[in-house]
Structure 1
Amino acid sequence: MKTIILGLLLTVAAPLVSAEYSRTYIESHPLNTVSVNGIEMAYRIVGEEPDSPKVVIIMGLGGSNLVWGDTLVKGLEEGGYELLMFDNRDVGGSTRFDDWGQPTLWLQLIKQKIGLPVNAPYTLDDMAADTVALMDELGYEDAHIIGTSMGGMIAQVVAAQYPQRTRSLVSIMSSTGARHLPWPTRKAEGNLRELAVGDAAAERDAMMRARGFFPDSMPRQLMAIFKSGDRSEDVASIQASTLVLHGVDDTLVPPPHGVHTAELIVGSEFVLLEDMGHNMPDNVMPELIARMRGHMDKVEAAADAGGQ
């Protein structure tokens, strides 16, 4: 069981860390730090323009803001949107929780499976509150909230608990955490089992760090997901216009997770993308950007029409 969880953690980043990507454009924007919600949060603003509609993008498990890559960031900015991107708590330039230590993964998984409380230094609710506190600090009245994987879960919490701050929601390769949904496939666990020890593990760890991931934080953030449990009731309360994107080939968070999310949110749009697993590959990126921009453009057009 410990091997399964280690494989899961590695698989989260595997499709991304091995890919060539650029982050030069992202890094050309200063990384600032501000105190919010009892922690320090590191953030960047791209395409800053007072009159532009705002977008908040939330990265997944163990990933810093750099993991988004230049292609997606430029693509959204070119649509006329101002982007707020940041490091979740426990990652990158934001407050780290290394002093809390590492959870005993196999024990916490057993507890989660039988419904006992899981030990975690924070929850998805805390991370959603961080997001909204940062918006407050920066004067964002509302924003289109986009999240991928764990970031999609955080985005769902923001949309459910802070509806007045959510202009729209885009949930990418994410989940409601419902207990009936399928676990990662054996393929997702087995692909990297041989990398769990020795030199291969060290090499993969170095690749992850170079790509903008923080492996030491990933087990703690996984516990935050487990501790938050089934969020179906919250997700079903979401009123914001919602786009749910998922990959046909996602073996880590299989497509039924995205289907369930869309089924719960009244009026949401669900798009299942070919050639996409638990990643955002180069060949699919143009469609991802077009889908997101099209979704947000519709919301903006409706808001403009309503204001006339």
Structure 2
Amino acid sequence: MQVIANGINIEVEDHGNPADPAILLVMGYTAQLIYWPMDFVNGLVAEGFRVVTFDNRDVGLSYKFDGVRPPHPIRQMLAKRFFPKRQMAPYNLSDMANDAVGVLDALKIDKAHIVGASMGGMIGQLIAADHADRVLSFTPIMSSTNGPGLPGAARRAQGFDADSAGEGAHAGRGSGTRTGLFLADCVGRRAQSAGGTAGDDEAGAGTRFLPAGPETPDGRDHRYRQFASGRPAD
């Protein structure tokens, strides 16, 4: 369903009993809400939570800032190195955090547990910092502040391969980590959706997934705008 949040249309899915404590799941860079595995969502609902997922601006079925073309990411990185205060997108992560709070407003949710993955974790940090009165708890997943002085990922994490994790999962889950299973499920659902067929747990995913690949100018612009919106969550 569509709601008006922070003045724009945002695509939202609402799962569970509205009377239960709410969890707001914030997905990462250019990723649609369907990237949250339904087993994960249903598991939270079974534990007594209302679970809300949504497409960030410029993603999926939410509002697109078409016609606003940001610089190529390489130019963005060079500009941020020498002009760190320059904003190169029509919005920033604070605007995206305000979108998330607007989703809570639209659904008449006073407070929620915030869970953010990757760039969604950066957005979640800003929700917690700027809207603390709306936050019951905050859980980041594979995220960071995006601060330029932070060290890189550990060697073990750099060598992580979602495909090998998926193979471990299919071999009895002996070698697949929880993160690996999460990523493998996301990759599998994306492949099913892009092919126009729905998995057993995602009826209609083929019409829900909107690929924005590098071969399309619109796809590039959406990703470049989101890339430009990122900044250290300070």
Give the TM-score taking structure 2 as reference length: 0.70
What do the CA deviations read for 1:62-87 (whole angstroms, capped 9, x no partner)?
11110112121112111110011110
Distance 2:126 2:192 in 1: 27
Does the 8 Å contact 2:6/2:98 carry over to 1? Answer: yes
* Residue 75 of structure 1: aligned partner: 43
Find out whether 1:231 has 2:233 as its counterpart: yes
Alignment of 1:114-263 (within 5 A): 114-116=82-84, 117-183=86-152, 210=194, 212=209, 214-215=212-213, 216=219, 217-225=222-230, 228=231, 230-232=232-234
Q: Report 1 or 2 for greater relative contact order, CA contacts < 8 Å, sequence distance ≥ 6.
A: 2
The Cα shift of 1:183 comes to: 4.9
Moved more, 118-127 or 56-65: 118-127
What do the CA deviations read for 1:117-163 (whole angstroms, capped 9, x no partner)?
14112100000001111111111000000000000111110001000
Distance 1:110-1:154 versus aligned 2 partners, 3 A rule: same
Residue of 42, 51, 60 corresponding to 2:28: 60
The Cα shift of 1:102 comes to: 4.4
Distance 1:147-1:118 versus aligned 2 partners, 3 A rule: same
The Cα shift of 1:176 comes to: 0.9
* Residue 177 of structure 2: aligned partner: none
Distance 1:214-1:76 versus aligned 2 partners, 3 A rule: farther
Find out whether 1:50 has 2:18 as its counterpart: yes
Aligned AA for 1:51? Answer: A
Distance 2:56 2:192 in 1: 17
Distance 1:97 1:36 in 2: 15
- From the two aligned structures, give the one with the greater helix fraction: 1
Distance 2:88 2:70 in 1: 10
Does the 8 Å contact 1:111/1:118 carry over to 2? Answer: no
Distance 1:183 1:119 in 2: 25
Equivalent position SS for 1:126: helix
Equivalent position SS for 1:100: coil
What do the CA deviations read for 1:90-113 (whole angstroms, capped 9, x no partner)?
011100123212422211111112
Aligned AA for 1:40? Answer: N
* Residue 194 of structure 1: aligned partner: none
Distance 2:14 2:51 in 1: 6
Aligned AA for 2:224? Answer: P
Aligned AA for 1:100? Answer: V
Instruction: Give me the CA root mean square deviation.
Output: 2.6
Does the 8 Å contact 2:68/2:90 carry over to 1? Answer: yes
The Cα shift of 1:214 comes to: 3.8
Provide structure 2 residue ranges, at least 5 long, that are not aligned to the other structure. Answer: 162-189, 195-204, 214-218
Provide structure 1 residue ranges, at least 5 long, that are not aligned to the other structure. Answer: 1-31, 192-205, 233-308
Distance 2:56 2:151 in 1: 26
What do the CA deviations read for 1:261-285 (whole angstroms, capped 9, x no partner)?
xxxxxxxxxxxxxxxxxxxxxxxxx
Give percent identity, aligned residues only. 35
